[in-house]
Structure 1
Amino acid sequence: MSAGTGPAPAGGPTLVRVPVGDPRVAPLLRELGEEYSARYGRDAHAELARYPDEEFTAPHGGVLLLLLERGESVAGGAFRRFDRDTAELKRIWTHSAHRRRGLARRVVAALEREAADRGYRRLYLTTGPRQPEARGLYLAAGYTPLFDTGADPESIGPLPFEKHLPTASRPGKASRL
């Protein structure tokens, strides 16, 4: 997967497409694993390494996007193929020092465009019951909860969401990062 860049808002982070093995991915995944481990009381690093790199690589896999600011990874996320029509969002994350700036929302929007450009018609994701910020992000971004939102999240386990995407106007068109 080649690195591509997208325009940054004036003075904002630059969006790049990177392979999973890119060294700029590791700090975000490390912090993500540490936070998940603290929130859930068990080591989450093995879960983060569960999917082979190929699942995040074109043409049949997904993509991994990073937002870089002054060369530092400040946010990122990925998707992988879930089924023929569905991409699954994974590892949406904002570094703790860069939160409350709309970066995760920007990553999600870029992943949605990329998935639609690749012909996916639906996005699916799960987030944990102890991640109210993620739940709020997906609801604000138009995702439909596939669970009873009035129930105690701890009684549900992973909270599933979906979003139907507009059909790309031309299959195989260039991505608009």
Structure 2
Amino acid sequence: MRSDLFVYTSLQDPRALPLIEELGREYESRYGDFYLQESAVPEIERYPAEVFTPAQGGNFLLLLRKGRAVAGGAFKRLDAQTAEFKRIWTDSSLRRQGLARSVLVELEAQALRQGYQRVYLTTGFRQPEAVGLYLGHGYRRLFDPTADLQALRKLPFEKQLSLAPRNHPPLPSTHALQAPMLSGV
């Protein structure tokens, strides 16, 4: 059995840096300057770390394997009933192991624990893997799939949350907001 562990922490956690940097490079490689045409701020820098904290109605999650971040994700408050998921990401060398799905399931569970009833998220038009993940996990498209996806740019999805049982056992988790560097993790 793998030694995977979920840790709720902050975006400033040093363990998150390699994952976030790789996500930024991925955005750049897939979209180049496409999004910069709309904004002078790269996608990865559009949200300050504070929006992903419990004080602001959000959370930042890392999936650690032997102490190393291998996947992660976050959510922020969209409104009183809706969490907006952001930054769901898996280390590129570890894809196709179900890690993004595990992160998605854990984020949904945490959103429920925080009283949210709905999840809203977007992905880019050049991320078919993410589209497949969300559709395969019960999310509903909020866009016409026959439309010009490049013209749409961001593809929105939603899901109503429920207390339905999980299909797999949960991974252990810990909340590390007070101590971002846990010993023995």
Structure 2 length normalisation: TM-score?
A: 0.81
Residue 167 (structure 1) shift: 6.4
Correspondence for 1:136 among 132, 138, 150: 132
Contact 1:14 1:69 in 2 (8 A): yes
Q: Does 1:158 align with 2:137?
A: no
Give the counterpart letter for 2:127 in structure 1. Q
- Give structure 1 stretches of 5+ with no counterpart: 1-9, 169-175
Distance across 2 between alignment mates of 1:106 and 1:19:
19
1:1-177 superposed matches below 5 A: 10-42=1-33, 46-166=42-162, 177=173
Aligned length: 161
CA distance in 2, matches of 1:147, 1:126: 10
**Residue aligned with 2:74, SS:** strand
SS of structure 1 residue aligned to 2:104: helix
Q: Structure 1 residues 127 and 20 mapped into 2: Cα distance closer, same or farther (>3 Å)?
A: same
Counterpart of 2:89, as a letter, is W
Q: How far apart are the structure 2 equivalents of 1:152 and 1:53?
A: 32
How far, CA to CA, are the matches of 1:152 and 1:141 in structure 2?
24
Q: TM-score of the superposition, structure 1-length normalised?
A: 0.85
| Structure 1 residues 154 and 46, CA gap change in structure 2 (3 angstroms) | closer
Q: Percent identity?
A: 53
Q: Residues 124-173 of structure 1: CA distance to partner in whole angstroms, max 9, x if unpaired?
A: 000000000000000001000000122232132100000011269xxxxx
- 2:86 maps to a residue whose letter is K
**Structure 2 CA distance for aligned equivalents of residues 141 and 27 of structure 1:** 27
Give the RMSD, CA atoms, in angstroms. 1.9
Partners of 2:56 and 2:151 in 1: how far apart?
35
Shift in Å at residue 60 of structure 1? 3.3
> Is residue 27–residue 43 contact of structure 2 (8 Å, CA) maintained in 1?
no
